[in-house]
A and B are shown apart, each in its own frame.
Chain A
């Protein structure tokens, strides 16, 4: 068989090559997510339960304190964050599977930087999770939140940011934890307290001091609060209701602006990304 062989010359390392690696790792996440329709459906389950079962049930108790605002509307930004968080967590978990099924090795021996692989993974997780946020955004109309283009864009941006930080956190953990059970247990142990402390399900003003301190330490607070601000800025509600339900995070009575909050989340995300890159770079 005297066929002409297409001889390939693998080019030397270049920025373009690294970019291709980031892109292909990202693309793989997209392909896998689009294949996994069941996952898209099941990940809607939790937000749905929180919004329509818990939200409806508790609204009968809480109506006195919400100044006429439906409790479902109040918890909506928190539920949005939850959907994004859990999706991001599962994206990072897939790295543990990749190791288990050997695919991680295929990536680790490629002539590209580990940082490109980690970055691609985090961006992929962020995109998938932000997409999940968009799906939850479709439910907005059912809880009295308008479909305003500005709102959608801002929510999308914040979802991307939050998802990126959570994926980076997960990837950082996955660099060390090689067993799925341990990884999931550890993530639950970290994510659940963070979620409950973040004020996703309650307003962050007038809390007992211990809870206020924990709330302000919790990084997730700085993702949930801007998300709520964005949603509430598009609601037509009384000033009293706004004051009670969307008080905003304060640092020693300084009202922290949304941009600073987003900055805190970005910074943490970048720090964790750096740690993840260092950890994976070290692994043989």
Chain B
């Protein structure tokens, strides 16, 4: 799988003069005593595919909701498509497309009726509606199914239809909040194909959130978010380079003893992540034979070893000290708090 070029390359020559599609400055959102977003700053260039990565409850959806004018920020400012999200709400809304985590289609209407309703709400000129509808539904392979009731669609088809609907009014920025969550791998990859095609065909900026590490790699730049803050922001390649090490995970009967042995014999600081002893070394394949050669019979026996190239998981781990899955487990309480307050 080839990754998109970084933003500094010349793949987007016409956009050098364009102002940023999204400009965020010190954005904060508080729900009573819980601070869901704690002051974030970033910029998304026009035409970029920008990803927000982080565990559930990190504040990704709250941020996206603020950028979409659905939630009022408690502090800071944000501009989307050159308009302020608080003072120019309607201008922002006209220029963005939205695909939420949960379906917002009317299941009792046909696909075409859903799209036409959207076109009317957004004031799409009548003479353009049919042509534009055909383009967006053909892109997601649903043109032939336009007369079917949405309730007869599978989860993947519904998500595709929502992407098509989000594009119907030619937004400058398309927001996708967890666009592939709950979909099977095949549908996930086809959704990513549409997103890349889209970027090639239309003059559009794509802003998405995900908690799948592998998907974040499709983005041109990624912001890693944890506990309401942006921890790091860069291209996937640069992020992985910074980590630089392969990840080795070993399974033993006594993790603490194994960690102590690693420190003593190899001067390696290991931690327990996802229930196994985890550490980073510059060259994993060469380290494993050495590990077994020098592993004392007195140390707890090693049951299994795995070596992995640096991934965004490691990036996340190197910045937060925990894997994204563990972070999700610990952030569940925080999320419950937010959910409790928001669900009034």
Contacts and interface: CB of A to CB of B under 8 A. Distances in A.
Contacts of B170: 5, 7-10
A24 B122 CA distance: 11
Nearest to A32: B108
A6 B109 contact: no
Given A5-B201, A6-B135, A10-B94, A35 B105 contact: no
A141 interface: no
Interface SS of A by simple majority: loop
A62 B94 CA distance: 63
A103 B156 CA distance: 18
B81 to A, nearest CB: 11
Given A8-B132, A8-B170, A109 B109 contact: no
Contacts of B197: 1
Given A6-B132, A9-B170, A111-B122, A103 B95 contact: no
Interface string A262-283: 0000000000000000000000
Contacts of A104: 104
Contacts, number: 102
B121 A103 contact: no
Given A32-B108, A109-B93, A23 B120 contact: yes
B227 interface: no
A102 B132 contact: no
B109 A1 contact: no
Nearest to B202: A5
A240 B35 CA distance: 73
A10 B169 contact: yes
Contact of B121 (A6, A36, A98, A110): A110
A1 B123 contact: no
A135 B121 CA distance: 32
Interface in A97-121: 98, 101-112
A101 B107 contact: yes
Contacts of A284: 70-72
Interface of A: 1, 3, 5-14, 17, 20-21, 23-24, 27-28, 31-32, 35-36, 98, 101-112, 284
Interface of B: 68-72, 90-91, 93-95, 98, 100, 102-109, 113, 116-118, 120-125, 128, 131-132, 135, 168-170, 197, 201-202
